Chains A and B, each alone.
Chain A
Amino acid sequence: MQLWLIPALPLVGFLVNGLFGRRFSKSLINAIAIGSVALSFAWALRAVLGLDLTHPYTERYFTWIQSGALTINCDFTVDRLTAVMLMVVTGIGALIHIYSIGYMAHEGGYYRFFAFLNLFMFFMLTLVLAANFLVLFVGWEGVGLCSYLLIGFYFDKKFATNAGNKAFIVNRIGDFGFSLAMFYIFKNFGSLDFGAVFGQAAGKPESMLTVIGLLLMLGACGKSAQLPLYVWLPDAMAGPTPVSALIHAATMVTAGVYMTARSWSIYIHAPAAMDAIAIIGIATAFFAATIGLAQNDIKKVFAYSTVSQLGYMFVGVGCGAFSAGIYHLMTHAFFKALLFLGSGSVIHALSGEQDLRNMGGLRKKIRWTFLTMMCAAIAIAGIPPFAGFFSKDAILLAAHHRAPWLYWVGTITAGMTAFYVFRAIFLAFFGEYRGHEHPHESPRVMLVPLAILAVLSAGGGYLFKVPEYLGAVFPRMEIPEDPALMTISTLAGLAGIFLAWLMYVARPGMADSLAGAVNGLYTLVYNKYFVDEIYGAAVVDPVVNGSRAVLWQRVDAGIIDGAANGVGDRAQEIGGALRLLQSGNIRSYAAWVLFGSVVVIVAMAVAGGVR
């Protein structure tokens, strides 16, 4: 089936555009970048439709690393889980590539942008297709690199490059866990191949599987922006908006969810690790949603929303509803990509304005953008029959099955989600226009992807019944449907929408007076709980100052080098003193010889007597 073609095609696009793109015309760059991704999508589709995926289909290419007992092969594998991921990555990826033609049309570094985007596709598809942990890790690190490169795409701007560095380093902290997990796995399973590892997982001691599960979870928390490592994702919005849609909403950030779902056979034997995932997930979902309530930058709202929604996926995985987690991964890719691309269209229309306070009344001016974004907003609010409803419902149902409090927190979060998304929608599209630009609708090349994603956000949950499709991959979980729970969570969503309408459309002054009433709380939330400041004071400053003042200036220059130079100085002093002996005066030499002889004779006499 030549699965390697799926990632290799975008790689070719990257190499061609990256090496020669500087001299290419824009249309040639477009043809190469989008052509390679479209072909990759077509080939992936062929693989998904043409192969019998009830059992994993594996292709072996070559031995990558072979040392001692360690053998790592470069293998790709496809099963139904991979198939879902392949379709999401290549499908959404292709749409966002097309959208970028319009969005990036007036930006510098056009070829560089598409080259990096292609490179991202290569690594993301490698991650998804990998048949062992190390090849997955290659993709994992590679998407991190592309994320770094694209966050810092506007490399003139300090905040953009800072955000890039932050993303890379925080992800590396997660990778610390992932790396150690791989070493544990290899030590205990003798292999990193998915087949071999997962096949043996059932017989291994729970304590060991728990350690592995928790370490993998640390990696996933980095990549999927969960507590306590979520801090890089909101900053990552410094990148161009299509990047936020593709990498920081639809695909890369879901890699952690994919990886934990992929490792389900480890997790089901490590209940403590699963509980940890569920708790981190629900905490992140709730925590990020509260921050989302008070953000004024339209992209920041959706960024915190992404963190929050990823938390839902973690809850799904942590409750054993792996297929629900992946289901939400897919629907979230639809509506969140759409929300980002839509806000990109808004930003484009307003020539770069991102502050919701300077928008308003845009629904008449950029009608298509408004309509498509409404689809996404209804979907994320979990209103049936839009896509988000199905997947969120599946997760909340499983959460209730696991522990009712998870369900209740999740439902409150769902209400907040509906509120902050519609708050953004109402602030941007309703009321009177508060800015000074001349809004203009985006070109068709941007609107068509929006329209397709709107259709998917509306009907995707119905069209693609992921849980049934994945029934063969994951262990079956029998949870009875519960209309009451379903109704409650839907009502929570509706309540959120209503509240947003009340506060931002019906009674516009209400939000400010409310914020004034709970001033302390509002300041806390508005400033994102000061988490960045706390990390700065607790981690970054001590490392920086400790390295500079203590390690470098005191230990290195002071103690170690001081000792070395001290030895040198002493040697010089001794040499200087001894130099006085070398007076060049024959008589003094003779005196020294005499003195020396006397000392030797006396010494011998003391030691053993002179014969």
Chain B
Amino acid sequence: MDQHLLSIVLLTPLAGLAVLLLLPAKSKWLIRIWANLAGLAGFLVSLPLVQRFRTDVPGFQFEEKADWIPSLGAHYHLGLDGISLLLVMLTTLMGFLAILSSWNSIQDRVKEYYAMFLLLQTGMIGVFLALDFFLFYVFWELVLVPMYFIIGVWGGPRKLYAAIKFFLYTLAGSVLMLLGILTLYFQHFQQFGFYTFEISDLMRVSMPLGVQQWVFWAFFLGFAIKVPMFPFHTWLPDAHVEAPTAGSVILAAVLLKMGTYGFLRFSLPLLPKASMDKTIVEILAALSIVGIVYGALVSLMQQDWKKLVAYSSVSHLGFCTLGIFAMNPNGIAGSVIQQINHGISTGMLFLIVGVVYERRHTREISEYGGLAHVMPKFATVFAIAMLSSAGLPLLNGFVGEFTILQGAFEANRIWAAFAVSGVILGAAYLLWLYQRTVLGQVTNAKNLAIPDMSLREIAIFVPLIAWAVWIGVYPKPYFDVLRRPVAEIVQRVRPEYYAGRNEGGSAEIRRDAGTKAGMAGLEAHSTGGGMAAPLAREPALALAGPGGSAPLAGPQAGGGQ
């Protein structure tokens, strides 16, 4: 069971999709039931990952590897580390809740709708699990198609404009990313004499800084558009506004994280020199900070409820990318936690919009006001979602923001100062939105008769609120899960980072292991050897560890056995 766990998680939505296609299109009720069951099953099969995941093992877990297209060197290679574990769990839960939230809102082409959603699920999970660049790219592009249709078919009045904009924007980015991947691929062939898309192999490629920078920018466009980083964000408000509620939820909660995940999994470890290049880091940090402040300010002025939340995403994702380019454990760990947090909080905020949109069919903020009188339960849930998004302590957002800012401060105190101002603005746009929609008197007669949230709707929010409180009150398990993968990235990018520090008393052991492994001159070697070692309490275990199976552990680590 363990050796195929990831495949099961990956393919459960597809299996659900296969059965769904056999159901008669007319029996909407049956289709809804089935799609919800499939979504629930997708979440349930992912739970064993949490239970069996081990925080004390370096590299990837539950690995599966098979040849796929041998002539190209493409493999079916899946694996999971702490970062992907959290993102996969976010995907399976949000996917299920998004499907559940569509019960009433989707009435046309129900079968096709749920089919697209299940396909989307597999695509997103695949992105977070793939350890082969070819496989990754297939999933990456696969995600585009169902999302394109979800926006374009079930969206609002300007759905075609939004869908095409979304598609072209992200496609443009991913084509450039493909060029970057191919550069790596051919460089690897030149140096080692065989073709492979295996990420752990590509990590051995040594390239001059100039080429690394070129590849970095190619990757950057692909990932930055997805995130989206300023100034590549303008597809996002349109896509969000036009997408159906569940589409917005998934788009914000999961799809955007593919970009940040890409930076963490590929840009940093594969291109460590370029990632540490001073100019590049400064540009990216500046773009992140501009995104934080700019997104918040533009969000402040929006008249459209959904657009406001969309721009707030730009601001929040700015925190996530800032954490990544702080290039230290706190920044990166905080970033991953904030990615989860953003999924929870912004997911909730989009669901909130969906609740009223279903009742009133408008997103104009000025159409609302005084909803607390007619929808007290809604007002309470919205308040919690707002506070979680605004980073109030004991809810999730605070933990992520604080850790990111701590990391940013460690890297550069000016960055932190600017980013903290985004926290002020974050409170401003959310409180103002809440005041305009929920507080005050009911001024619009159309709002007088709208029903409060139903039990099904509350059931969608309960797990998210519980999750928000869990992360806010006891985030330690999350940090534990992230400790190794984050340290591996930092070690890879900044081999000197841990040298001067003594964390957990293992610095000495670490240094020994590092020198033993890092004999060869190639950068990948020395860093590769140090990779697994610094994290291991028992260096022998790390060095002898799963050999080739820990892709971040370079060849020398394996050879040291």
Contact = CB atoms under 8 A, between A and B. Distances in A.
Interface of A: 62-70, 134, 137-138, 141-142, 145, 148, 152, 155-158, 161-162, 164-165, 168-169, 172-173, 175-176, 179-180, 183-184, 186-187, 543-544, 546-548, 551-552, 555-556, 560-561, 564, 568
B461 to A, nearest CB: 14
Given A165-B432, A165-B435, A183-B406, A564 B417 contact: no
Interface string B427-450: 110011001001111000000000
B382 to A, nearest CB: 13
B298 A551 contact: yes
A373 B407 CA distance: 52
Interface in B313-333: 328-330, 333
A543 B297 contact: yes
6 contacts: A68-B329, A69-B503, A145-B392, A179-B420, A180-B420, A551-B297
A555 B297 CA distance: 12
Interface stretch (B16-24, B64-72, B397-405, B523-531): B397-405
B75 to A, nearest CB: 33
Nearest to B504: A69
Nearest to B480: A66
Contacts of A169: 424, 427-428, 431
B458 to A, nearest CB: 13
Given A67-B334, A176-B421, A546-B297, A138 B328 contact: no
B360 interface: no
B439 A547 contact: no
A187 B475 contact: no
Contacts of A152: 439
Given A137-B393, A183-B406, A62 B474 contact: yes
Nearest to A145: B392
A266 B431 CA distance: 35
Contacts of B234: 556, 560-561, 564
Given A155-B440, A158-B440, A67 B298 contact: no
A175 B427 CA distance: 12
Interface in B383-414: 387, 392-394, 398-399, 402-403, 405-407, 409-410, 413
A201 B301 CA distance: 45
B423 A175 contact: yes
Given A152-B439, A169-B424, 19 more contacts: A64-B476, A65-B402, A67-B330, A70-B403, A137-B393, A155-B438, A156-B370, A162-B435, A169-B427, A175-B423, A176-B420, A176-B423, A179-B420, A180-B420, A544-B301, A547-B300, A551-B297, A556-B234, A564-B165
A161 B439 contact: yes
A145 B431 CA distance: 11
Across the A-B interface, give the 7 residue pairs with the lowest CB-CB distance, nearest first: A68-B329, A183-B409, A138-B393, A547-B297, A548-B301, A561-B234, A155-B439
Contact of A63 (B294, B330, B476): B476
Interface in B439-487: 439-441, 474-476, 479-480, 482-483, 486
Contact of A67 (B235, B294, B387, B479): B479
Contacts of B329: 67-69
- The interface centre, meaning the residue of B370, B393, B486 with most chain A CB atoms within 10 A of its CB, is B393
A138 B398 CA distance: 9
Chain B binding surface, main DSSP class: helix
B416 A556 contact: no
Nearest to B417: A180
Nearest to A135: B393
A575 to B, nearest CB: 12
Contacts of B403: 65, 67, 70
Contact of B394 (A67, A138, A168, A561): A138
B522 interface: no
Nearest to A72: B402
Contact of B402 (A134, A157, A543): A134
B406 A70 contact: yes
B231 interface: yes
A132 to B, nearest CB: 13
B168 interface: yes
B420 to A, nearest CB: 5
Given A179-B405, A544-B300, A551-B297, A187 B431 contact: no
B297 A180 contact: no
Contacts of B398: 141
Interface string B280-295: 0000000000000010
B207 interface: no
- The interface centre, meaning the residue of A158, A184, A555, A556 with most chain B CB atoms within 10 A of its CB, is A556
Contact of A65 (B165, B432, B475): B475
Interface string B319-355: 0000000001110011000000000000000000000
Nearest to A19: B380
A606 to B, nearest CB: 29
Nearest to B372: A155
A564 B486 CA distance: 35
A546 B301 CA distance: 10
A65 B479 contact: yes
Nearest to A192: B406
B140 to A, nearest CB: 21
Contacts of B392: 141-142, 145
Nearest to B431: A165
Contact of B328 (A66, A68, A546): A68
A568 to B, nearest CB: 7
B516 interface: no
Contacts of B302: 552
B300 A168 contact: no
B501 A69 contact: yes
Contacts of A543: 297, 300
Nearest to A183: B409
B418 to A, nearest CB: 11
A173 B435 contact: no
Contacts of B435: 161-162, 164-165
B62 interface: no
Contact of B423 (A179, A544, A568): A179
B431 A66 contact: no
Contacts of B416: 180, 183
B85 to A, nearest CB: 16
A137 B387 CA distance: 16
Contact of A176 (B424, B432, B479): B424
B294 A65 contact: no
A556 B421 contact: no
B168 A186 contact: no
B406 A560 contact: no
B469 to A, nearest CB: 12
- The interface centre, meaning the residue of B475, B480, B503 with most chain A CB atoms within 10 A of its CB, is B475
B103 interface: no
B535 to A, nearest CB: 12
Contacts of B394: 138, 142
Contacts of A552: 297-298, 301-302
B76 interface: no
Nearest to B409: A183
Nearest to B421: A176
- The interface centre, meaning the residue of A137, A145, A184 with most chain B CB atoms within 10 A of its CB, is A145
Nearest to B373: A156
B459 to A, nearest CB: 16
Contacts of A547: 297-298, 300-301
B440 A568 contact: no
Given A138-B393, A155-B372, A180-B420, A67 B333 contact: yes
A546 B334 CA distance: 31
A320 to B, nearest CB: 29
Nearest to A186: B406
Contacts of B440: 155-158, 161
A184 B413 CA distance: 9
Interface string B218-242: 0000000000000101110000000
Nearest to A66: B479
Contacts of A561: 234
B34 interface: no
